[in-house]
Chain A
Amino acid sequence: DGGITQSPKYLFRKEGQNVTLSCEQNLNHDAMYWYRQDPGQGLRLIYYSQIVNDFQKGDIAEGYSVSREKKESFPLTVTSAQKNPTAFYLCATSDRGLHGYTFGSGTRLTVV
């Protein structure tokens, strides 16, 4: 069954710790994306990758890092430099051409 798996669904971390969110897909899509969602602000693009070993910053990349070592995986690290990391994080994928995104079910990160 094709899809996107984000894990874990809920994540709690202490302030000052780095944390890595997982995103795995078996849709064979080339492009992968990370969005952050905050109440009343919609979705904001953090990073995206169109091909293995290549990625670009989105609109709010500061305090985040990514890697794309495999086509299927696009993990996001929230570093201690991110000032306000508590949010809902969504991973998405897209095939070549303008088809829109397929989204994962999200990870809710709470930093205390």
Chain B
Amino acid sequence: AQSVTQPDIHITVSEGASLELRCNYSYGATPYLFWYVQSPGQGLQLLLKYFSGDTLVQGIKGFEAEFKRSQSSFNLRKPSVHWSDAAEYFCAVGYILTGGGNKLTFGTGTQLKVEL
């Protein structure tokens, strides 16, 4: 069974500082990995995804993530955090269902607070 661990429940960074959110996955085959962001009371928005190829993936809003198979990790990074990045971040691992749909398993999320 697939699973995702986000070891940090809360992270606080100063505006302008760099950010790294950790994600570890467990999956028997080649993983398909995602990062989503959620503002309070809203749905989730896709930041980036990894399927294959280059292990460094660029996403929206200046985020990037690096896939490391040897460490079963897919950490999210941003060089300089803005106050508007304060939100909850979810890592997910997924696969394609027989009928063409997707089955995603989500981590428990990391709440990011940005200090001005």
Chain B binding surface, main DSSP class? strand
> Which of B90, B92, B101, B103 is most buried by chain A, counting CB atoms within 10 A of its CB?
B101
Pair A42/B107 contact, Cβ less than 8 Å: yes
Chain A 30-70 per-residue mask, 1 if CB under 8 angstroms from chain B, else 0: 11010100001111010010110010000000000000000
**Residue of B whose beta carbon sits closest to that of A31:** B101
Q: How far is the CB of B18 from chain A (nearest CB, A)?
A: 25
Chain B 65-97 per-residue mask, 1 if CB under 8 angstroms from chain A, else 0: 000000000000000000000000010101111
In whole angstroms, what is the CA distance A98 to B97 when docked? 9
In whole angstroms, what is the CA distance A35 to B106 when docked? 10
**Residue of A whose beta carbon sits closest to that of B35:** A100
Pair B101/A100 contact, Cβ less than 8 Å: no
Pair A31/B102 contact, Cβ less than 8 Å: yes
Q: A97-B100, A106-B42 are in contact. Are A42 and B90 (CB under 8 A)?
A: yes
In whole angstroms, what is the CA distance A96 to B101 when docked? 6
Q: Does B46 contact A (CB under 8 A)?
A: yes
Q: A96-B100, A98-B102 are in contact. Are A103 and B45 (CB under 8 A)?
A: yes
- Which residues from 80 to 112 on chain A have a C-beta closer than 8 Å to any C-beta of chain B? 90, 92, 94, 96-106, 108
Q: A42-B108, A105-B43, A106-B43 are in contact. Are A100 and B100 (CB under 8 A)?
A: no
Q: How far is the CB of B90 from chain A (nearest CB, A)?
A: 7
Q: A31-B100, A48-B101, A98-B94 are in contact. Are A103 and B9 (CB under 8 A)?
A: no
Which of A35, A94, A102 is within 8 Å of B101, CB to CB? A94
Pair B96/A98 contact, Cβ less than 8 Å: yes
Pair B34/A50 contact, Cβ less than 8 Å: no
Q: Does B99 contact A (CB under 8 A)?
A: yes
6 A-B contacts (beta carbon < 8 Å): A31-B100, A42-B108, A42-B109, A51-B99, A94-B102, A106-B41
Q: A94-B101, A105-B43 are in contact. List 9 more A-B contacts (CB 8 A).
A: A31-B102, A35-B106, A96-B100, A99-B102, A100-B46, A101-B104, A103-B44, A106-B41, A106-B42
Chain A contact residues, CB within 8 Å of chain B: 4, 6, 30-31, 33, 35, 40-43, 45, 48, 50-51, 54, 90, 92, 94, 96-106, 108
